[in-house]
Homo-oligomer: A and B are copies of this chain.
């Protein structure tokens, strides 16, 4: 008991989750740890949700602002959303209960670039950060905090919050201590300096968070797993997408446009990117590196195989089986993994300098290459932009991947005009579906349209796209990016009305 809390003063603050949660009051802004289902508080958030429900039952208001790294788990977003306890949420959410409430207008959801979060919290226009609730793996004798399986914005929350609640989670493997790299060199302008990171494996910070013990009001002990969900095995579509992409990368190496070890890989989370990572196991690239947001199963496989030398990210997002493997060989992995604050993992300066190969998913792309990553049918948010904008604009090669249809073929991922834009065509260099790959670099909109329709659209929608485009070539107001204003969003409207984009 309490063996992970080596600081006497903080050990004296050990209390129950219920007691700790009472420090959080209606209207507070609360900065919580957590990124992609790892390293989020598990018990204080649940106890807080219970207290919010009780308060509501008594007829009193109780809503808070929830700031995190990114998505969390059911004990946090799920429980608080269910309790109607979230008034304002940033910067990313993927919880199904929260999503429903956001899309009913019941939660104010601020969907933002993940690299910008720390900066705007410092700026102060969101109001003060009242409380930080941070999961850690342990506390050193000096009172420094051993980070957990995500770093996210924890450094900023700990620095900015008026009061701090710590969850010390003994489920987390202490052997990962030393893996983190917490950089304290950021500042607001005009006091910013170059970030001294030149290679993905550079360590520029320290392994632990600083923490003012006087601000800690409660320490809670837990032994709870992260929300580690099994990945589905890649299906035929994912494998086809991976195949096209690997051919493209091989050709780039052959043409001398990429080095044989590629450039640092960034990949979004999901089955398609996991299929790409699986494909890299058999691809002729050696000594690869990764500078990304999240370390998922495929990266661990690549590390073990020796194809990938190291991976830098801000969080894990592993299946339970892979989390077990990581825990079993934690000391071996520790030297090959670096978790950083998300202002560093996603920093435009670093993404541009390193020349990342960015691989992200999408909801829909249009025939000119603009990408919608967030809003289904233009208005209903799925998750959020996350770090995709940080990477896509600054990457050396910006790749977006998707199956060409969704909802059993009712939705085409390639549409005349996207119903919402997250990535402008200038930031989308390659689009890949199971049908093929469109290399859009250097192409003007009319050329992009032909290539995307031919190479990426599903055959069931290809003729309709061609028909739209050819009529736009005749009827458009201008011919730089031909469009028919009355039809540009008609496929989405048809889906809303009929449940299918098919005519």
Contacts and interface: CB of A to CB of B under 8 A. Distances in A.
Contacts of A108: 444, 446-447
A229 interface: no
Interface string A413-427: 000010111111010
Q: Count chain B CB atoms within 10 A of each CB in A348, A472, A480 and give the residue with the most.
A: A480
Interface residues of A, number: 85
A424 B105 CA distance: 21
Contacts of A103: 478-480
A380 B477 contact: yes
A80 interface: no
B125 A442 contact: yes
The SS class assigned to the A binding surface is loop
B441 A480 contact: no
Nearest to A256: B124
A236 interface: no
A179 interface: no
B479 A389 contact: no
A493 interface: yes
Nearest to A198: B193
A355 interface: yes
Given A108-B447, A355-B190, A442-B110, A379 B483 contact: yes
A471 to B, nearest CB: 13
A142 interface: no
Interface in A460-503: 472-473, 476-483, 485-486, 488-490, 492-493, 496
A488 B426 CA distance: 23
Interface string A360-383: 000000000010000111111100
A389 B393 contact: yes
Contact of A375 (B188, B259, B375, B480): B480
Contacts of A354: 189-190, 192
A86 B263 CA distance: 35
A59 interface: no
Given A108-B444, A389-B424, A376 B478 contact: yes
A396 interface: yes
A379 B479 contact: yes
A171 B90 CA distance: 55
A19 interface: no
Given A257-B125, A355-B192, A379 B105 contact: no
Contact of A188 (B110, B355, B444): B355
A162 interface: no
Given A377-B478, A381-B481, A485-B377, A192 B421 contact: no
A488 to B, nearest CB: 6
A396 B104 CA distance: 32
A475 to B, nearest CB: 10
A488 B489 contact: yes
A476 B105 CA distance: 11
24 contacts: A105-B446, A105-B480, A108-B444, A120-B442, A123-B441, A124-B255, A189-B354, A189-B396, A190-B354, A193-B198, A348-B348, A349-B352, A375-B480, A376-B478, A377-B477, A378-B483, A378-B485, A379-B477, A379-B482, A385-B426, A420-B481, A421-B421, A422-B424, A485-B489
